[in-house]
Amino acid sequence: MNNKPYKMTKATKASAEKQAMDCGTPPKKEHLENRLTIHDFMKIQQLFQSSESSGNRGLMSRESFVNTMSATIKQGTKEEYGELFDKIDLIRDGLIDWDKLTSFVLLELYERDERTKMSVVPQWKDLRFLPTIHKDVIQNVICFKHPSKYLTVSRNGLLGLWGESLKLQKMVQITTEAVKPKDLWVTSLVALPNVNKVAVAFTNKEILFAELSFKKGFSCQYRLQGFEGTVTCMHYWYNPHDGNEAILTLGDVCGQLCPISVLYSSSLDAFLSVTTSSSKTLALAWREKLSPCLTMTAFHIDQGVNTFDFHSRLNLIATAGINCSVCLWNPYVTSKPAGILTGHSDSVIAVQFITERKLLFSFAKDKILRLWDIQHQLCVQRIAGSFPKSVDFHSTLFFHESQGLLFISMNNQLMVLEMEHELGKRRVASHKKAVTCLLYNSMLQQVISSDTGSTVIFWLIDTGQKIKEFTGCHGNAEISTMALDGTETRLFTGGTDGAVKIKQGMLNQGLITQNTSIGPM
């Protein structure tokens, strides 16, 4: 193993902590309304109230608003306050009050939240229940790639082999020579894809390695025996560029604390393990250069955790807390979590990252599944009421990202949530009908498009994300042309119905539309 990079200077540690708090690339400078604090808004409210007491009925002109706010509020320039006034003053009467400002800000926050959800939230098909083949608790669900096939193993040693279409291909009862099947429990199962094998751990302190074949089934190749204690969990890593370099990590009951989940990270060159204890809940161990022993650091988490997951690209550890919280940890900062995701009302029993996105699954004992946006630390999806009713159950969670399949087990029942494939295939910048016109609003940095189906759509120029859609703008008639006025605050649309429509306040409290009839051309 390489020399461990955990000896850090204070500057490096501060940088790592900041990176963990950001959980991504720092955003570019936000609009003024997004930078104002609650104290800034309280001052602004007082300024409007002062205007009301002076006989102006709480109204401010553009000049008064810009001069007063820029002189009193620390945030923002005169230009920015002028832009903010123009966004609020929809009907262009040159006056705004406190109610108009708060309505604008609240709507902006709501639309920003909706845009965030639309950009990251997957859509799911109905929950699918796979045939119940197991008579005991399902311990693990794993996947073999190329082609995709899935394995489930229950505590009593029944192995299920499932095809890519999730049809049951074969059932195999795993046994050992030393122990009768009724006295034997399977504790863990991992795939060894580079050698086309699986490793199975048993309560008799034995690990069995077998070759897997859909035709021949389960063929034992060799076994490891003589462990001091029962192996409770396993993790397998191999170098995709060198199949001979691999690490099988084991957790057994002989430590001071019994680990419930273990992992080796090649990016950290370290071993990770968790327990349900509040002391040394999450441990990281690595080997210093030329040292025969491992060096360890520990995280202390109140009430302990049920499991964890690690995202190597984000350099974040997610822990499923018994205290109902999901914590995000920077492996270099043990003093406090980089983020805490709250919302579950019961103990969290499973977490897993979606590695290609900044998303995280969490599943709790109350049978509520949540999907979190890691960058914003927000719950963007909540799935409840679909899972079987059960008071006491054992559960596992496994997400096969390339296929968009989320496996959830509850005792001996296996369920699958399948992601809608259209999410990854559809083009965001598309219309149902032929596109007729395109405009660019430089002030708002948005693209406006129209189609023959009388639909107008607004898009963000930097991401291509749809932010507003208006249908039936000219009834059933096609929109043949569009134009913006000089201030870029009014949109003119012309249709084959012989009408021109003027749309004002395009981004804020909806569209104010005026119709002007035009005779036959």
Residue 319 lies in a domain: yes
289/381 same-domain check:
yes
Average pLDDT over residues 406-424: 85
| 3-state DSSP assignment of residue 42 | helix
Total structural domains in the chain? 3
| 3-state DSSP assignment of residue 59 | coil
Residue 84 has pLDDT above 70, yes or no: yes
On whether the CB atoms of residues 454 and 477 are closer than 8 A, the answer is yes
Average pLDDT over residues 327-351: 94
Residue 39 lies in a domain: no
Residue holding tokens 């006034």?
85
H or E element that contains 515: strand 512-517
Q: Tens digit of pLDDT for each residue in 98-123?
A: 988 988 888 887 777 766 655 667 88
H or E element that contains 371: strand 369-373
User: Which DSSP category does 255 fall into?
Assistant: S
Residue 179 lies in a domain: yes
Cα-only R_g, the chain = 29
Q: Tens digit of pLDDT for each residue in 369-393?
A: 999 988 888 888 899 888 988 778 8
Q: Tens digit of pLDDT for each residue in 285-315?
A: 998 877 788 888 999 999 999 999 999 989 9
Residue 26 lies in a domain: no
234/257 same-domain check:
yes
- Lowest average pLDDT, out of 76-85, 177-186, 332-341, goes to 177-186
Distance (Å, whole) CA 220 – CA 137: 23
134/271 same-domain check:
yes
pLDDT of residue 506: 54
CATH number at residue 214: 2.130.10.10
Residue 339 has pLDDT above 60, yes or no: yes
Quick one: which of 316, 421, 450, 290 has its CA closest to 375?
Answer: 316
- Lowest average pLDDT, out of 106-120, 145-159, 195-209, 420-434, goes to 420-434
Residue 13 lies in a domain: no
3-state helix, strand, coil in the chain (%, to 5): 20, 40, 40
User: Which DSSP category does 489 fall into?
Assistant: -
Split at pLDDT 50, 70, 90, the class of 446 is confident
- Enclosing domain of residue 498: 435-504
353/491 same-domain check:
no
Residue holding tokens 């000049």?
63
Residue 74 lies in a domain: yes
Instruction: Give the N- to C-terminal CA distance of the chain in Å, as an integer.
Output: 79
392/493 same-domain check:
no
The amino acid occupying position 504 is Q
348/407 same-domain check:
yes
200/316 same-domain check:
yes
Token readout for 54 is 């002076």
pLDDT of residue 166: 93
Between CA 488 and CA 497, with CA 491 as vertex, the angle to 5 degrees is: 160
Residue holding tokens 């009713």?
389
Distance (Å, whole) CA 288 – CA 294: 7
219/315 same-domain check:
yes
Residue holding tokens 């200077």?
9
Between CA 80 and CA 87, with CA 84 as vertex, the angle to 5 degrees is: 140
The CA-atom distances, in angstroms, between 85 and each of 79, 92, 301, 507 are 10, 10, 48, 14
Between CA 83 and CA 89, with CA 85 as vertex, the angle to 5 degrees is: 120
HEC string of 285-347? EEECCCCCCEEEEEECCCCCEEEEEEECCCCEEEEEECCCCEEEECCCCCCCCCEEECCCCCC
Distance (Å, whole) CA 395 – CA 105: 43
Answering whether pTM is above 0.85, one says no
